[in-house]
């Protein structure tokens, strides 16, 4: 649990540093007046040019930054978590299934194991040892 909070703290620190860098860049260079020419969105094969339609304001850049941040979170956190769950959970369940199968097999074979142990302990050897010690 401690590592989870440590990871969250590092993530917050990195996000804060990125926001500080973005604000610093804004103070030094400011926002561009318009989106670069040739900027386009392609939806279902239809190209929509946005570079010449509207002037860029702080909202455009804020939404673009949030989109990049969401994409980074998905790539860094969600994708490894999905891979871990897709691979790790079946492996853990398989190991649990094998352990339960071995337990059931031991319970089913327990009478046979008991008979083998009883025959292995060799009661004649114990009896001869007891008579020699007592005599």
Residue 110's pLDDT band (cuts 50, 70, 90): confident
Return all residues near 98 (Cβ < 8 A) that are at least 6 apart: none
**Is the model's pLDDT at 9 over the cut of 80?**
yes
> Where in the sequence is the domain holding 118, given as residue range(s)?
31-134
Q: Is residue 56 part of a domain?
A: yes
Is 115 inside any structural domain?
Answer: yes
Which of 29-33, 51-55, 61-65, 117-121 ranks highest by mean pLDDT?
Answer: 117-121
**Is residue 2 included in any domain, yes or no?**
no
How many domains does the chain contain in total?
1
Specify if 62 maps to a domain.
yes
pTM: 0.39
* 87 belongs to a structural domain: yes
Total number of residues shown for the chain = 135
Cα angle 115, 104, 108; round to 5: 30
Any domain includes 8:
no
pLDDT at 74: 82
Q: What 3-state DSSP class applies to 37?
A: coil
CB atoms closer than 10 angstroms to residue 35: 19
Whether residue 108 has pLDDT greater than 80: yes
């Amino acid at each position: 649990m401690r590592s989870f909070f440590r990871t969250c703290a590092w993530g917050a620190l990195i996000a804060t540093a990125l926001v500080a860098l973005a604000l610093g860049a804004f103070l030094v260079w400011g926002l561009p007046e318009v989106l670069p020419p040739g900027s386009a969105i392609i939806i279902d094969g239809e190209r929509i040019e946005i570079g010449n339609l509207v002037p860029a304001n702080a909202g455009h850049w804020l939404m673009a930054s949030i989109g990049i941040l969401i994409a980074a979170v998905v790539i860094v956190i969600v994708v490894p978590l999905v891979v871990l769950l897709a691979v790790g959970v079946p492996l853990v369940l398989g190991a649990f299934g094998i352990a339960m199968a071995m337990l059931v097999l031991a319970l089913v074979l327990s009478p046979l194991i008991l008979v083998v142990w009883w025959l292995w302990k060799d009661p004649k050897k114990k009896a001869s040892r007891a008579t020699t010690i007592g005599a």
